[in-house]
Each structure stands twice: as C-alpha cells, then as structure tokens.
Amino acid sequence: WFPSMGSLLPPVLLLWLLSCPRLQLGHAQDPAMVHLPGGRFLMGTDAPDGRDGEGPAREVTVKPFAIDIFPVTNKDFREFVREKKYQTEAEAFGWSFVFEDFVSPELRKQENLMPPAGPGSGIREKLELPVVHVS
C-alpha cells in the first residue's frame, strides 16, 4: 500500500494486471474474470514494526487464480453474506482491526460491515461503491 497513491492504486493495479503477458482474460464460464498464472514473490517485511504475520520477508508461492475485473460492491458483498450466512472477521472477533490504532477500544467493538463506521453508520447510500475492509 502506497498512501501517496490514494485512490489511484486500484486502477493502476488493474492496468498492470491487464498488461501481464501471461494473463488470460475471461473464459466462457467466467468472462468477467482475469486468470493469473501464479508464481513466486517476496512477501512481508523485515522492518521492526511489522505486525500480525507481516515478517519476516520470505519467498512464497501463489497458485494460479482468477480475480474479478470489477470491484465487489457493498451490495454484492451484502448479498454474499446473506446468502452464505458468512461472518466477517470483525463480527467473529467482535471488533475491526482497521481502526486498531485510531479509535478507542469501545468504538472498535462496534465496527463491522453493518455498521461499517460504528453506531449510526450504514451502507444503504453506498451500495454501488466497492466493499472495503472485509475478509
């Protein structure tokens, strides 16, 4: 994550993915998917402030996979959660890691997909926006 890139990161990442020479765009079964070949890369950090499995830096192998060419919207994710009875980590753990360093422990316990920013917040007016901070 590069904070200076802000909201440019998703389009830049998509352009990079589309420029990959071994990339296969959708098949008849899933035309809205990009198929990536997988491979090895360096993951993690050796920085002393690495957290939650971020260190040490190590080589990992990723199997071939497919990813949607469009972001998953709040509406899409909400439908998935309802249909599959999926529980997010924020719901399972009782709080959200995203605000760990920025809000009080009391407010952390109230953040999840519904309500995403604590009491009184919602996604009703944001259903067509990409879902964020889900696992």
Residue 13's domain comprises: 3-68
Residues 54 and 11 in one domain: yes
Residues 27 and 58 in one domain: yes
Residues 53 and 103 in one domain: no
Tell me the pLDDT tens digit for each residue of 65-86.
Answer: 888 888 889 899 989 999 999 9
Residues 93 and 108 in one domain: yes
Question: Residue 134 domain-assigned?
Answer: no
Task: For residue 104, name the pLDDT band (cuts at 50, 70, 90).
Answer: low
Distance CA 89, CA 37 (A): 29
Residues 55 and 84 in one domain: no
Kindly report the pTM of this predicted structure.
0.54
User: According to the per-residue pLDDT averaged within each range, which of 20-34, 58-72, 88-102, 112-126 is highest?
Assistant: 58-72
Look up residue 128 and give its amino acid. Answer: E
Strand ranges, E, within the chain: 24-25, 33-36, 39-43, 58-62, 65-68
Tell me the pLDDT tens digit for each residue of 2-29.
Answer: 444 444 455 655 666 556 655 555 555 6
Q: What does residue 2 show for φ and ψ, rounded to 5 degrees? A: -120, 100
